[in-house]
Chains A and B, each alone.
Chain A
Amino acid sequence: MRVVVIGAGVIGLSTALCIHERYRSVLKSLDVMVYADRFTPLTTTDVAAGLWQPYLSEPSNPQEAHWNQQTFNYLLSLIGSPNAANMGLAPVSGYNLFREAVPDPYWKDIVLGFRKLTLRELDMFPDYSYGWFNTSLILEGRKYLQWLTERLTERGVKFFLRKVESFEEVVREGADVIINCTGVWAGALQPDPLLQPGRGQIIKVDAPWLKHFVITHDPERGIYKSPYIIPGLQAITLGGIFQLGNWSETSNIPDHNTIWEGCCRLEPTLKDAKIIGEWSGFRPVRPQVRLEREQLRFGSSNTEVIHNYGHGGFGLTIHWGCAQEVAKLFGKILEERNLLRIPPSHL
């Protein structure tokens, strides 16, 4: 069984790992290969701040809420392992701020210790009058991708730097199943008018005295268009840019100023912070995550593709639930083809 995973961001690598963990022992042979034209630190995942937090409103596909929860519970179970920090994982607490009262988010019982802010806490943020406090998790993209790469390498999964121009080329080389984790660039392999870039720009600074995330919300402007400060394992990510349809990968000065002014207003001590760097990335925005099977016919062969892309600004937040779902679909393919030696244990 030859599986080609296209894409080496968090979605590609975690899906590859999930499939290999579940099926290696129940197949006569399982060859998993990762093809990508970008690897860490050049993927979209590397730009993400890494805070586990879904969007505020319920997803149109209720499965996504379930995948978010699965991911949080999975990551939480790893807290307490001595390796957590090596994976890029750590608990982090902080503030979500609003200018007026809003309903509680659907994920309030998934995170830990969710509560509303007291008046004294709101005094710290003069531009905001309502908010939440909760404990969540940081999963830092770069460290996590390095960790996933190590785990995959241990398992004999091979990585290839190549730009895949079509599913057909991969099929002709002998792939049985293709896992399409190409993120915002999925349209190049198969047009998808529902997929758009949600360009983000972030500034990474050294400000180790900041221990909390602070995310502001402006419901009129939309998600991630309002300043946010998110501590990583070492550096702090400052952001607040979300531009639909903008494919510019270079960081620009007007966005830098928007981020810098917004975040310094929120946290005046940032004036003393040293800037480490500035990055841009494209959130793969889609009304729903595309997670489904598709059969492709090229000549006489039938190839299975499992799509797993379009995770917007919540890729790290949802990744493990999606990886498990892809693994389930992969299992179905194996059953249909009578390839299983013994039925896989269902997690």
Chain B
Amino acid sequence: MDTVRIAVVGAGVMGLSTAVCISKMVPGCSITVISDKFTPETTSDVAAGMLIPPTYPDTPIQKQKQWFKETFDHLFAIVNSAEAEDAGVILVSGWQIFQSIPTEEVPYWADVVLGFRKMTKDELKKFPQHVFGHAFTTLKCEGPAYLPWLQKRVKGNGGLILTRRIEDLWELHPSFDIVVNCSGLGSRQLAGDSKIFPVRGQVLKVQAPWVKHFIRDSSGLTYIYPGVSNVTLGGTRQKGDWNLSPDAEISKEILSRCCALEPSLRGAYDLREKVGLRPTRPSVRLEKELLAQDSRRLPVVHHYGHGSGGIAMHWGTALEATRLVNECVQVLRTPAPKSKL
């Protein structure tokens, strides 16, 4: 059986996790991850990595819940192992707070996270502008540790990692049999996808080690996420903004909003500004496409467009992308019908 040569384009959380899944679940293939950017310079490195999923308007809730649950279970197994620190996965408890009572008081993911319940009146006293809230324990998965951990796994399973900027997916033909496109916003060009656009997020990563809980305003605009070695303060959701340079005015404003929720943050020190562009789409693009040009054929599995839910959904969607890759491999391995003379 010939080795099927698979190229994964993109080395953010999608590219690397898909590469790991493929190496574990698809026999007889070689994997090469190709990207122009690697950790710590990917979008996944800026993300706080909180497992609090967004809602994709065009995807059935059951599917989203499945992806979130598969990701949560995968990371939960890591957090309970001795590898948790290497992989950058931690357990963190906290509160999501609402300024008005939501129509849906219990979100679809309530039984995926741990210990979900409504906040008590005493707990809400800490947030005088808010009238309702969720209290739960979830996971945080940090790019700067998780991506290198995934990279080690890719290489450990015999995969190659190459630095190269791909301008056109056809560059990968004929060296590769299947392309897995995890290029995030790069798909605007690589896949000609006009549906994907950036939602700019600016954050501050600060030192405030006394903050042990996450606090998230339900709007998703203001959040405090304590991590392994810093606290992420956010944020912004600027649609269509491609600017990767931090804006000092915005940083001041983020700090002020976060201090309103957690006044002790006025003592935060060593503030660092970061910007990431969430690769946003009405739904995650998870599908096969057979590229054709003259007599050339190139099977592509698209796996991108997770918006603000990249870390939260990555393993579930990587498993699905891997199933699609497997289908492509089956097709390649099925001998072409011989014409009967």
**Cβ of A90 under 8 Å from chain B:** yes
Q: A82-B264, A233-B209 are in contact. Are A209 and B114 (CB under 8 A)?
A: no
Pair A231/B114 contact, Cβ less than 8 Å: no
Q: Which residues of A contact B226 (CB under 8 A)?
A: 211
CB neighbours of B213 from chain A (8 A): 91, 93, 135, 211
A121 and B117 form a contact (CB under 8 A): no
- Given A118-B115, A133-B115 in contact, is the A92-B212 Cβ separation under 8 Å? yes
Q: Which residues of B contact A211 (CB under 8 A)?
A: 90-93, 212-213, 226
Report the bound CA distance from A269 to B267 in whole Å.
29
Residue B263 is within 8 A (CB to CB) of chain A in the complex: yes
Let me know if A158 is at the binding interface, CB within 8 A. Answer: no
A272 to B92, CA, bound (A): 19
A203–B305 Cα gap in the complex (Å)?
Answer: 46
Q: Is B84 an interface residue (CB 8 A)?
A: yes
Does B271 reach chain A (CB closer than 8 Å)? no
The answer to whether A208 and B91 touch (CB under 8 A), given A112-B120, A112-B123, A271-B82, is: no
Q: How many residues of A contact B (CB 8 A)?
A: 37
Instruction: Give A212 to B264 CA distance when docked, in angstroms.
Output: 19
Task: With both chains docked as a complex, state the minimum distance between the C-beta of B274 and any C-beta of chain A, in angstroms.
Answer: 19
Q: How far, in whole Å, are A234 and B80 apart by their CA atoms in the complex?
A: 22
Query: Contact between A113 and B123 (Cβ–Cβ < 8 Å)?
Result: yes
Which residues of A have CB within 8 Å of B208?
85
User: Smallest Cβ distance from B95 to chain A, in angstroms?
Assistant: 9
Q: Does A117 contact B (CB under 8 A)?
A: yes
Tell me, rounded to whole Å, the shortest Cβ–Cβ distance linking B206 to chain A: 13
Q: Which of B246-277 contact A (CB under 8 A)?
A: 259, 263-264, 266-267
Q: Which residues of B contact A115 (CB under 8 A)?
A: 115, 117
Interface residues of B: mostly helix, strand, loop or mixed? Answer: mixed
Nearest residue in B to A121 (C-beta to C-beta)?
A: B114
Q: B264, A124: Cβ atoms under 8 Å?
A: no
Are B115 and A85 closer than 8 Å at their CB atoms? no
Closest to A271 in B: B82
By a CB distance below 8 angstroms, the chain A residues around B82 are: 268-269, 271
Q: Does A250 contact B (CB under 8 A)?
A: no
In the bound complex, CA of A82 to CA of B262 (Å) = 8
Instruction: Evaluate whether A233 and B210 lie within 8 angstroms (CB atoms) in the complex, with A113-B135, A133-B115, A211-B90 already known.
Output: yes
Q: Which chain B positions have C-beta within 8 A of A81?
A: 263-264
A-facing mask of B98-129, CB < 8 A → 1, else 0?
Answer: 00000000000000001101011011001000
Say yes or no: is A80 at the interface (Cβ < 8 Å to chain B). yes
- When distances are taken between beta carbons in the complex, the residues of chain B under 8 Å from A28 are none
Taking CB atoms, residues of chain A closer than 8 Å to B219 are none
Given A211-B90, A211-B93, A212-B93, CB of A112 within 8 Å of CB of B122? yes
Residues of A contacting B80 in the complex (Cβ-Cβ under 8 angstroms): 123-124, 268
- A268 cross-chain contacts in B, Cβ below 8 A: 80-82, 84
Return 10 A-B CB contacts under 8 Å, by A number: A81-B264, A82-B264, A118-B115, A133-B137, A135-B123, A135-B213, A209-B90, A211-B213, A211-B226, A268-B84
